[in-house]
Amino acid sequence: MKSEQNRQQNNQNNQNNEIPEMNLDAKYSNKNKILPPDMDKMQKEMDKTKKDLEKFRLYTIKKYPFVQAIGILPPQSIKLFIDEEEAPKETEKYMHLYVIMPEDKFKEFPKIKPDLVKQLDFLKQKVWLHLKTPMDIWETCLDSKFELAGAIAMSFPLYDKGILGALRVSEIHKSLVLQKFERYVVSYVIGGSLVRGEAVKTSDVDVFVIINDTDVKRMSRLELKERLRGIIYQYIGEASALAGVKNKLNVQVYLLTDFWESVKDAHPVMFTFIRDGIPIYDRGTFMPWKALLKMGKLKPSPEAIDMFMSMGDKTVKFAKQSLVEILVRDIYWGIVTPSQALLMLNGSPPPTPKQLVSEMRKNFGGNEKMLEKKYIDIVEKIVNMYKDYEHEKLKEIKGEEIDRLIKDSEDYLKRLKALREQIQKRFQEKTIEQIYKDVFDLLKNMMGSKSQSEMVSLFEKEFVKKGKFTQQHMRILEDVVKAKTELKKGKSNPMKVDEVRKNAALLISDLIEYSQRAELSILEKGRMRLKYKKDGKERMAELIVSGGESFLIEGNSIKKLLPHVQESNMKELTEAIERQKTNKSIEMNPKMFDILGRELGEYEIAL
């Protein structure tokens, strides 16, 4: 028996399609110990067997890439295969390989099997080969030979695309469920991709468990179902861990009475389940249902037939409703949503559907002339039809009308793509215009009114070369001018515009900062702090000379000094400071100091 650690290592190797390590027991695996002669011989034989099986595996999957699985059947199950299969009695002590290939390759088996047997003969190993298809496994289950199917599921995988792993996890889960609830389990059935031959290592394994509730006395059927289902679901994780696979069990639990009611009502899920499902455990219930269905004896009840017949009467009504739903669900929202998006791109807030038509006219029609009237008419028509539907005026629509609406919608959406380009182009134009204006307004504030070329030349000479700005600022300024020139020629590029916008933000920020520093420097020249005494206490006042006027600030009091002292306010002071920004020099009137002396008494300028 392998240790749990070795088994997990084997499972990991199986997922990598490699021969797992065949470890000896720990007491013989220590390389520092001398192995007994018999054990040393056994070790060599096991190593040889492993290498031989690896050669066989590589040969098989290379020559027959469609092979689905190669497994070593459990030794304790060999007698079952000898009794039930074509294997002779003398192979009881042989290693039995179970090779699974797709059903569509069955006709090639007479050529494939001798080739594989020949490869095994070269290895000089006592191996018996079983070459099967998934259908052979399902036939074994349908014949109620569940022990054989279980042995195949628990075979040691040398190579597996998914079928052995899916079988193994379902077999382990079945065993756990039966061990706990064998009295109640009627059938344990697999289905889905595993039965269809499409299972891979990550496929979900669909499993159906039918519980006998006919003799329940001490609890309600619902309580029984919930209790059993809760425990059965708990076994899913345990089974996955023991199987060492990534396949996830998808278990459905049914009570026998509920299942039978669903069959009588012709529930399509149940009929499909009976038709396609493969039992890996059954107490004589599922197989008769399957046979009856195949014979045509399992039929829906009269009530179910009436229900299906009534579906025909409703077909026309459903079809008409579907046409209206196409208008409401698809065409209407297929027009409204992209229209709202373009309005947002154009700078407008997203309108409600009721406001959509008026906003489209306002933003793109009329004087804007960005979108032709016929396209706005398409929007209006579809919106009005939707309003009629909301007020229950529109209950039916013809297929011809739907076709016309679809055609109009296609034309409209195609036109919207062109409109998007128009909006983006306009946005680019506005962006470049605004950037150009902001940059040259700042330069004008720094240099005075000059032509574009003079400003650029002066900026380089007086500001870049003197180290007040960098060469990067110069390149950005040249890019702004170039972008404006290209815009006039109709050669604007969205990526280039975006690059200029990002870079210009740096230039504008640095120009503003420089201008503010320059303005503050001028203002500081006309600002003095004055120290004086009043009522025996030392006080501080501030003198600001700006815009040709002088202001004395004492606490919250603002006074204008020239031509004489008079009360003033913050508004007059602010206006004077703004006027000073355009004047680079500060002029102080000598009379101002005489007035300060009379106003403050003795004072001194604080540094």
pLDDT tens-digit readout, 590-604: 888 888 888 888 888
Note the pLDDT tens digit of each residue in 335-377.
Answer: 898 999 888 888 888 888 888 999 999 888 877 788 899 999 9
Mean pLDDT of 497-524: 81
> Are the C-beta atoms of 156 and 141 separated by less than 8 Å?
no
- Indicate if the pLDDT at residue 5 is higher than 50: no
Mean pLDDT of the chain: 82
Residues of the chain with pLDDT > 90, as a percent, come to 24
pLDDT of residue 36: 55
Tell me how far apart the alpha carbons of residues 261 and 270 are, in angstroms, rounded to a whole number: 10
Tell me how far apart the alpha carbons of residues 313 and 567 are, in angstroms, rounded to a whole number: 95
36, exposed or middle or buried, with CB in 10 Å at 0-12, 13-18, 19+?
exposed
Mean pLDDT of 211-239: 82
pLDDT of residue 528: 85
The pairing of strands 127-132 and 95-100 is parallel
- Indicate if the pLDDT at residue 557 is higher than 50: yes
Provide the CB-side half-sphere exposure for 415 (13 A, CA).
18
Tell me how far apart the alpha carbons of residues 429 and 421 are, in angstroms, rounded to a whole number: 12
Tell me how far apart the alpha carbons of residues 2 and 23 are, in angstroms, rounded to a whole number: 8
Which residues in 426-568 belong to E strands, given as ranges? 527-534, 537-546, 549-554, 557-560, 566-567
- Indicate if the pLDDT at residue 296 is higher than 90: no
Mean pLDDT of 504-521: 81
pLDDT category, 584, cuts 50, 70, 90? low
Residue 461 per-residue DSSP state: I
pLDDT of residue 133: 93
- Which SS3 state, helix, strand or coil, does residue 54 take? helix
Q: Which residue has the tokens 């490869």?
A: 119
Task: Provide DSSP, 376-428.
Answer: HHHHHHHHHHHHHHHTT------HHHHHHHHHHHHHHHHHHHHHHHHHHHHHH
Q: Which domains does the chain have, with CATH numbers?
A: 1-160 (no CATH), 162-311 (3.30.460.10), 315-397 (no CATH), 426-522 (no CATH), 526-606 (no CATH)
Mean pLDDT of 245-256: 88
Six token digits for residue 6 = 């070795």
- Indicate if the pLDDT at residue 150 is higher than 90: yes
- Indicate if the pLDDT at residue 35 is higher than 60: no
Kindly give, in sequence order, each residue whose CB lies less than 8 Å from that of residue 241, ignoring residues fewer than 6 positions away: none
What pTM was estimated for this model as a whole? 0.48
The mean-pLDDT minimum among 61-65, 90-94, 449-453, 579-583 falls in 579-583
Measure Cα distances from 526 to 545, 580, 581, 588, 592 in Å: 5, 10, 12, 8, 13
The mean-pLDDT minimum among 28-37, 480-489, 556-565 falls in 28-37
Note the pLDDT tens digit of each residue in 262-280.
Answer: 877 767 778 888 888 999 9
